[in-house]
Amino acid sequence: ERGACAVEKALLGSMWQWEQWRDGALIDSWVERNLCVNQGLTYLLGCGFSSVTAISAWYVAIYDNNHTPASNNTYATPGFTEATNYSEATRPTWSKGSVTNRQLTNSANKASFTFSSAATIYGAALVGGGTAATTKGNVAGGGKLFNISAFSSGSKGMASSDVLKVTVALTVQDV
């Protein structure tokens, strides 16, 4: 029998909805799942049930090498090479709304990348905290890597001026 606050099993995951735009037209869209890495899960437990300080701003980082996400990837050693050839000066903010029905999403304000040159992108990650979380390519400063989403197709080619938009929805449920 469960106690008042006990959880036998809970499921935490995210859904990444992608849109590729070229010359103002949507040319591709797809949905991917993710891997919540140990560093992100440890942060979540520490923030929710211990005295770990909450990270107020999270950012989407895209990567351009063929990396298979692993549970031991961290902010300092992500295993992927972050793509930086987009025109935005910093990593796009994951501008989340309020928690609704056990879900937190940025669907009202998608993260957006405008490519300054052609690129091949393999996936993305949700990062935050530390001293330089907005800085493209930064892996120093004590940030946190929450999760990584690799493209199931392997990669997606981007042309110069393509816009890649992403919605990240975090969901938790009792199972």
Q: State yes or no: pLDDT of 163 exceeds 50.
A: yes
Percentage of the chain modeled with pLDDT above 70 = 95
Check if the beta carbon of residue 167 is closer than 8 Å to that of residue 110. Answer: yes
d(CA 77, CA 71): 11
Q: State yes or no: pLDDT of 1 exceeds 60.
A: no
**What is the total residue count of the chain?**
175
d(CA 151, CA 149): 7
Reported as a pLDDT band with limits 50, 70 and 90, residue 112 is very high
Closest alpha carbon to 82 in 32, 117, 124: 124
pLDDT the model gives residue 3: 40
Task: Pick 7 or 147 by higher pLDDT.
Answer: 147
Reported as a pLDDT band with limits 50, 70 and 90, residue 141 is confident
Closest alpha carbon to 39 in 123, 145, 157, 117: 145
Pull the structure tokens for residue 35. Answer: 């891997």
pLDDT per residue as tens digits for the range 23-68: 999 999 999 998 999 999 999 989 888 988 999 999 999 999 999 9
Percentage of the chain modeled with pLDDT above 90 = 73
